[in-house]
Structure 1
Amino acid sequence: MTDHPIRLFASDEAVRHVTRGLLDRSLPRPEWTHEAHLAACTCLLLEYPDFVPLRDLPGTIAGYNVAVGGVNDETQGYHETITRFYVLAVAAHLEADIAGSLVGRVNRLLASERGRRDYPLRFWSRDRLFSRAARRGWVEPDLRPLAEC
């Protein structure tokens, strides 16, 4: 998790594009960025009432990874702890940011502390977060309680 410039979205349609591409597994792999993960999660929470991210994202992301030639194993691909954490962080952001367009809410999230790539490292030590156990299943944070998310 390094410090990269934030890639903001230009429109609601751009956010919906990555969301649809994740769901139907058509999004080109280079477009599946950190920002795309958070944008898709935001869109799913706001516009897909039958999609339950904590239940449905594991299979959705893992299936997408395989469809674009990726692998889901103990060292790469779907990461359970990071995904669950960001679902909670995005939901917390949306509880506080209740108005405006989809793209506005996504871009404000991306510009916030919760949107940072290294945000999980405020809650987990690097070794714990990037352990095989954390990739495969939920691992509780060891630095700060989730209530501070």
Structure 2
Amino acid sequence: MSTPRFFADDAEIAHVGEGLLARTLPRAKWTHEAHLAATCWLLRMRPDIDADAEIAGIISGYNLAAGGVNDDHHGYHDTITRCFLAGARAHFAGRPNGEPLVDSVNALLTTPAGARDWPLRFYSGKRLFSVQARRGFIAPDRAPLP
């Protein structure tokens, strides 16, 4: 597992989350860690947003605004996103109430659920990297999600 890039404070995480929603976050800042931080920020700080219903549109819209595409091979991947969303929820369930967001996010980045290859615990590579999995959520074929 590579060493994650940690966040300095809650404000840095909010900057990523707000930049995602506003579609202004520089593309170079949209890292694996930023994906997880934005997901955590949405879950904890934006209860007005139904992450399950809106995450596909949020990330797909950001990708297009940042000059990317969402097609069968690039851009938004629904199954991976929803896998990490499940992991973030499970992570928060085990964290202390009132914990600073930066502590929760940085802790997540050090766990298996924060690793880039975490979805492969639940999915075979063939299933996870299929066009069907990119375009919509598909159930895991190795183990149930948390």
TM-score by length of 1: 0.94
| 2:48 counterpart letter in structure 1 | D
Q: Does 1:9 pair with 2:4?
A: no
Identify unmatched segments of 5+ residues in structure 1: none
Over residues 3-47 of structure 1, what are the superposed CA-to-partner deviations in whole Å (9 max), with x where a residue is unaligned?
432011011101000000000000000100111011011111111
Match of 2:53 in 1: 55
CA RMSD of aligned residues (A): 0.9
Over residues 87-126 of structure 1, what are the superposed CA-to-partner deviations in whole Å (9 max), with x where a residue is unaligned?
1110110011134211001000111111111000000011
Secondary structure at the aligned position of 2:6 is classed as coil
Over residues 39-85 of structure 1, what are the superposed CA-to-partner deviations in whole Å (9 max), with x where a residue is unaligned?
01111111111111111110000000000100000100000101111
What is the count of residue pairs matched by the alignment? 145
Within 5 Å, give how 1:58-137 maps onto structure 2.
Answer: 58-99=56-97, 100-137=99-136
Secondary structure at the aligned position of 2:109 is classed as helix
| 2:21 counterpart letter in structure 1 | L
Match of 1:20 in 2: 18
TM-score by length of 2: 0.96
Secondary structure at the aligned position of 2:89 is classed as helix
Identify unmatched segments of 5+ residues in structure 2: none
